[in-house]
Amino acid sequence: MITYEKKEIFYFLIGFWLILGVECYSSGSYNLTVKTGGSVTIPCYYDGKYTHQKKYWFSEADKSSTYTNTTEENLSVIDHPDQNLFTVTMRNLQSTKHDGRYYCAVKVEGNVTVTYGLYLQVQSAPDVSVVNSSVSGHEGGDISVQCFYSSGYKNEVKQWCRYKDQSCYTVGRTNTSQNSSVQISDDGRGSFTVLMTGLRLTDSGWYYCSAGEALNPVQLTVNEAEPGTVSDKVNETGILNDNNETEDTVATQNNELLTVWLPALAALLLLLILISVFTWRWRRRHKQDKHQIRRRTSSITTDVIYSKAEDPEMYSIINYENPNDPNKDITYSTIDNFPVREAEKPPAGGAIYSIIYSTVAPH
């Protein structure tokens, strides 16, 4: 049994070097640096035709193989067939125990195929590191990743690469593809920043920051755009290309205007109506009062009737207009002494039977 395992490892190493010589040397070797006591997750991509094959993580240091869907205290190997990759998570890393070369491998009919290989080095101050090994954004939005490097890598080429197809973006160069773009800027003091804008769902996946041969992996997750956002509807020219989004925005603005201005306009209109009614009533009442005073003052008719010239008593009939009905009069009758003025005395030998005072109201 032991002999069989050693033989398998021997063939594995031979197969690895053969494949490495054809596929991996062209892109160089990768050094993954991790802080002492820390953890790291490594993606292992494979061809879709290997979905149902056995995959495992192989350590050259202790010649151990850990198959997918295995979870241990400090090691987990999980397959994600829907993404054509399996992930390896190593925890509580120590330099004396975990430094060495590792491989992602697939076993096909007894033969071993290496899909990815790297050298892991545990350091107190990693050559390349990131603050967060997992970032997320929304479709049409943007994300920013800051990558740190040690002074020894100051003059090395800084890149942001995608594991899946090994496509890389270099500092000082801008790559634009459809609606997404990648910009990398180096501050020259120990860090460079990766900015991805116009994110698409297909941008989800595993990437890594690298300075020279040193790297550190980062997982990017792009979620569907949130309802009501505008950023996911903007094309390369910055013009909205979704009529529904435009209509929703206009409708929202109209609702806000109605909510704020409609009550204010209604209150203003009501105030104007009240002022107009009050003014009209005041003017009408003032005019009526003035007219009534004039009519009452000028509508008194006095009829004085003497029975005889020597009779000092007077029978007086006073007519007032009824203010409630101009067509009806109120009549008051009184009998009283009436001081007759000289002009009103009857001539000698004659008699005054009536004296009528009347004043006609002005028209």
The C-alpha atoms of residue 309 and residue 162 are separated, in whole angstroms, by 138
Sign, CA torsion 300/305/309/312: negative
The pLDDT of residue 294 is 53
User: Between 256 and 179, where is the model more confident?
Assistant: 256
Mean pLDDT across 176-192 = 80
User: In 3D, which of 81, 24, 25 has the Cα closest to residue 50?
Assistant: 81
The pLDDT of residue 65 is 94
With pLDDT > 90 as the criterion, what percentage of the chain qualifies?
A: 46
Distances, alpha carbon 355 to alpha carbons 105, 300, 340, in Å = 142, 14, 10
The pLDDT of residue 261 is 78
User: In 3D, which of 219, 361, 245, 207 has the Cα closest to residue 298?
Assistant: 361
The pLDDT of residue 153 is 94
Q: Which residues pair with 44 in a beta bridge?
A: 86
The pLDDT of residue 58 is 96
The pLDDT of residue 331 is 53
Residue 320 has phi, psi (to 5 degrees) of: -115, 140
Residue 231 scores a pLDDT above 50: no
Confidence of residue 97 (pLDDT cuts 50, 70, 90): very high
Confidence of residue 341 (pLDDT cuts 50, 70, 90): low
Give the list of residues 6+ apart from residue 104 with CB closer than 8 angstroms, or none. 42, 44, 45, 46, 55, 57, 58, 86, 88, 114, 115, 116, 117
User: Between 327 and 59, where is the model more confident?
Assistant: 59
Mean pLDDT across 58-64 = 92
The pLDDT of residue 348 is 54
Residue 362 scores a pLDDT above 90: no
The C-alpha atoms of residue 193 and residue 144 are separated, in whole angstroms, by 7
**Residue 139 CB coordination number (10 Å):** 20
Residue 295 scores a pLDDT above 70: no
CB of 77 closer than 8 Å to CB of 88? yes
The C-alpha atoms of residue 115 and residue 173 are separated, in whole angstroms, by 29
The pLDDT of residue 68 is 95
pTM metric for this prediction? 0.57
The C-alpha atoms of residue 146 and residue 153 are separated, in whole angstroms, by 15
Q: Which residues pair with 64 in a beta bridge?
A: 59
